[in-house]
Amino acid sequence: MSGVEIIGLGHFAPSRVVPNSEIENRLGLQSGWIKRRTGIEARRYAADDEALSDLAVAAGDMALKRAGFRRDDVALLLLATSTPDHLLPPSAPLVAHRLRLASAGGIDMAGACAGFIYALTLADSFVRTHGQAVLVIAANILSRRINPAERASSVLFADAAGAVLLAPSERDDAGVIGAHLAAAGAHYDLIKIPGGGSRKPFGADFDPAEALMAMPDGQSVYTKAVAMMATAATTALGKARVDVSDVNHFIPHQANARLMATVAHQIGVRPDVMRSTVDQFGNSSAATIPFTMSMAAEKTPNARGDIILMTAAGAGLSGGGAVFRS
């Protein structure tokens, strides 16, 4: 077997619904302001007793149960997250343990909004090389990293998890058939959490506000993210030798509705193949693509041979695009 197929999808969002009105009232914004500019109507926030691993386990468990796959046969868990349970140890080993993946390795991947694209690409290579299944989970609890006084991040970010179980396939042409990964470190500081790392460690004089997200120039983030996502998607299509008209499912990072529509227009994707959850679930960074893939498949299942185009960009700047044949 030299191909790769998706045999299970899963998703999870916390039960607490946060409508726009709650944020608009806090920030003194006019009613309807957030919906007009972002396309977001509501988002989900984790409960006080929920940690990142709880969301990840729920999504991963759904993917495994839907696949009916033996958990002992999963060889690797890749967890794409920017909000682990702790700075140390990594959360993936805990998630693997709670999912009863007794034979699996586990590692966190901090790729911000592009984390799932990176994890999917590496997982596909592992499955092809070793002939064993890989569970990819992307999850974030961004509600605890939002600066409540900063409009740019407050109106967008949310909490969710999505999971994809990859396994060997007898079809050589199945799996990631084209990918392009990108980084633009010159724009490293456009989205950041200033404190808590080795550059500015915790200490007696640490300002708690520096442990929150900062995005002071939202317009620059928008412009550069659109360019990176469109270029990555187009390049991935070229590597796959697939025309954009052949795409059956377009699942961009759910940054906001306006950005997604702009990227779709620039690469020429038909509006009817766009898959989106941003209106009710907001932007959960790396989780948005697998979360949306899982939810969309409940209404529009992926048929054998379908072309799925994914693209993302986020903090770092890091980004990428991938073309997956079901």
Which residues are designated catalytic? 113, 253, 283
Rounded to whole angstroms, how far apart are CA atoms 24 and 282? 15
State the CB neighbour count (10 A cutoff) for residue 32.
Answer: 11
* Helix residue ranges per DSSP H, the chain: 20-27, 33-38, 52-67, 92-98, 115-130, 151-154, 218-240, 257-267, 278-281, 288-299
> In this structure, are residues 3 and 171 in contact, taking their beta carbons and an 8 Å threshold?
yes
Pairing, β 74-80 against β 42-45? unpaired
DSSP letter at 104 equals: -
Cβ atoms of 137 and 163 closer than 8 Å: yes
> Which residue from 130, 127, 160 is spatially nearest to 324, judged by alpha carbons?
127
Cα gap 146→212, rounded to integer Å? 6
Q: In whole angstroms, what separates CA 148 from the centre of its chain?
A: 22
Q: Diameter of the chain by CA atoms?
A: 58
Q: Would you state the torsion angle of the CA atoms of residues 165, 167, 171, 175, taken in this order, to the nearest 10 degrees?
A: 50
Task: Name the CA dihedral angle for 168, 164, 145, 204, rounded to a multiple of 10 degrees.
Answer: -40
- Note whether 40 and 156 are within 8 A (CB): yes
Beta strands at 307-314 and 42-45: parallel, antiparallel or unpaired: unpaired
Pairing of strands 3-12, 159-169: antiparallel
DSSP assignment letter at 112: G
